Structure 1
Amino acid sequence: MTRRFTIRIGAETAVAELLDDESPRTCRRLAEAMPLVSQVNHAKVAGAEFFCYVPFHEELESPVVAQTCGNIGYYPLRQTLCVFYEDMPGAGQVTPVARIVQNIEGIISEGRRAWQRQGGVISFDGLTGEADE
């Protein structure tokens, strides 16, 4: 069963699916950290990406560089979750942990706002489903 969770940022709520099959260790760590509330920061060099710090560390797993709009990756060097709101060639390797499956339009809108308004609140919660054994 696919595990889903809710992302809340600004006035928007979206749903994402964990990528347990691709990165089981990191997905397990994220699931254990939920509910998670953090501060939003927008990348200044990497492009259409905002990120938040997380209270765990995991080594790089199943690394990818190029990103598709709606991907969520874990960047171990900075201990952050990165939300990509446009397709991008990428600026570094991240562990793929989730993909937004509902309301990507709202996330795009809030991502653009985050460029101007650093420090907003983002939350990850409402985990449903069970990890496949």
Structure 2
Amino acid sequence: MPRLAPRIDDVAAAHRMFAAIAAASNEVAVFAYLDHERRLLAMRHSPARDAMSVRLPIRQVAADAIAFDAAALVMAHNHPSGDLWPSDADVAATRTLDRALAALDVALLDHLVVTRSGVASFRLLGLL
């Protein structure tokens, strides 16, 4: 019997999926595409432009969501500085992505900031 992909039902499950990026020395963004049951369909990584910023490729994320027939998406990026609080640029880019995905009927469930000391959820912080 084939093994089902993991369900991403809460911040803890998402954090486990993205925990490995906490150790990266440069910022990296990761996008997890989910089906209607919040099961993982695919993941993509976006390379860092430099040590302290990451590219948010909205067109590519939207194209991937369509290609994977995703119903939802969870994204994460790391802060090598250890600061869990999202920057103003993080918030603005996330809101832009949320609007773009909503137009495609794809829900942006959360955006996590991952560090060695923990995780911050845009959803739980009221930023999404």
With the length of structure 2 as denominator, give the TM-score of the two structures: 0.30
As a proportion of its length, which structure holds more helix? 2
With the length of structure 1 as denominator, give the TM-score of the two structures: 0.29
As a proportion of its length, which structure holds more strand? 1
Q: Which has the higher contact order (CA 8 A, sep 6+)?
A: 1
